Chains A and B, each alone.
Chain A
Amino acid sequence: MKRVGEVQSSNYLLAKFQDLVDWAVNSSRANSLWPMPFGTACCAIEFMATAASRFDFARFGMERQAFSPRQADVLICAGRLPFKLAPVIRRIYDQMPQPKWVISMGACASTGGVFDNYAMVQGIDTIVPVDVYVPGCPPRPEGLLYGILLLHKKIKGESLFDAVKRREEQPLDDKGLRLPPETIDEISEPFGNSVHQFRSS
């Protein structure tokens, strides 16, 4: 027996309108991420395995791989990034339309990995902002899938109406960097066995 005006009826959906919009937008974004593969090394092989039928990230809405940055949502950097490729990946990132995300796949893309030398970028977060870091050398396809699901989770936590939850990447500063130089030096510092090697020969 229900009285008129009682709001416990299942015929009502009560929520803030903003939350409803966020839910709709974020669900559609998260469930149709088009990846822009940037494969430079062995991680790209695992990436291809993730895309192929056994693991098949099309199950998570990544059916269409966009080999053009203009139609891509998420940049997946799979493999080490030499300094010579730094302007290339930055330009690809700049060409992608907002909203855009970046997955750094593997140890080399995330930190430089074993390539702590003169030619290698020590983590692509010195070049582009990174949303999800996938560890591994290379990560197994399950690892990359887990990273993609984490990115889904992150996207679903964003809000069109709350700037804190949705950080827009700023263009490069007048020096041509996206981070202060001290920060880049700090996150590029050697770690693990590399600390026993000195900068001077």
Chain B
Amino acid sequence: MIPGAVREATARDGDQIVYVAPDRLLDALRWLKETPGQEFDYLVDVTAVEFRDRERPIEVVYFLRSLKRRADIRIKVELQPSDELAVDSVWSLWRGADWLEREVFDMFGITFKGHPDLRRILMWETYAEGYPLRKGFPLRGRFSRAEQVRQALNANPEAHYSLEELSIAEAGGDLPDDMRDRLRRGERGVVPEPPNP
């Protein structure tokens, strides 16, 4: 593997778990994906773990699978809670990491550097209470119920979705100007193809 990347490798319950240094994560995953004999071509899931012990680092976990070799491996990256919670995005290796990393960002507040479209995916974009799966997050949220209802009712769902997510191409003429403009530009600055007649 990449020299200096692996911090620790264990096997637990028949699963291989490899701890990787955060700054070498992208190199290590690229090596795992592209090296003959490894060929972990499928990113099953990206998630994160925060432990009750606040001293322990937050782990970002990557589940990889090789469809050809029928083998699994689990890659973990440890992030110190005192530092900035940021790690390289693996979107350049697996396009499927897009939404997985958005979910981790939404729930844990971990920034993925190089992600093309890092914004909340489960909670709405104007959600201001923090990151719900962090240990410091109260179960019922930070705001009062009335404030939560007020913010939810004042959210404008249409304003935050792209054309791909809404599939309202034919309804374009009825939309407000700013939304039409946003849809024309697309979420990533790409002009969408007109639908086939």
Q: Across the interface, do B137 and A201 meet the contact criterion of CB distance under 8 Å?
A: yes
Q: How far is the CA of A182 from the CA of B150 in the complex (A)?
A: 12
Contact flag A200-B138 (CB < 8 Å), given A118-B129, A122-B145, A185-B144: yes
Q: Are B157 and A88 in contact (CB under 8 A)?
A: yes
Q: Is the CB of A84 within 8 A of B152?
A: yes
Which of A86, A118, A182, A197 interacts with B153 by CB under 8 Å? A86
B123 surroundings in chain A (CB, below 8 A): 84, 119
- Cβ A181 vs Cβ B140 within 8 A: no
A192 interface contact, C-beta 8 A: no
Taking the closest CB of chain B, its distance from the CB of A177, in whole angstroms, is: 6
Within 8 A of B (CB), among A104-130: 116-119, 121-122, 126-127
Cα separation A102 to B146 with both chains bound (whole Å): 21
Instruction: Determine if B140 and A116 form an interchain contact, defined as CB atoms under 8 angstroms apart.
Output: yes
Question: Please, what's the 1-or-0 string for B123-145, where 1 marks a CB less than 8 Å from any CB in chain A?
Answer: 11000010010011111110011
Do B153 and A90 have beta carbons less than 8 Å apart? yes
Contact size range, B: 20 to 34
Give, as a whole number of angstroms, the nearest-CB distance from A81 to chain B: 10
A184 to B135, CA, bound (A): 27
Q: Please, how many angstroms separate the alpha-carbon atoms of A105 and B117 in the complex?
A: 38
Asked if B149 and A83 sit within 8 Å, CB to CB, the answer is yes
**7 residue pairs, one from A and one from B, having the closest CB atoms:** A181-B146, A118-B141, A188-B145, A83-B152, A184-B146, A86-B152, A176-B154
Q: A117-B139, A190-B140 are in contact. List 13 more A-B contacts (CB 8 A).
A: A83-B152, A84-B157, A87-B153, A88-B157, A119-B123, A119-B132, A122-B145, A176-B150, A176-B153, A181-B150, A184-B145, A188-B145, A197-B139
Q: State in angstroms the CA–CA spacing of A86 and B148 once bound together.
A: 10
A141 to B153, CA, bound (A): 31
In whole angstroms, how far apart are the Cα atoms of A181 and B136 in the complex?
26
CA distance A90 to B156 in the complex (A): 12
Q: A167 contacts which chain B residues (CB < 8 A)?
A: none
Q: How near does chain B come to A85, taking the closest CB pair, in angstroms? A: 9
A83-B148 in contact (CB<8A):
yes
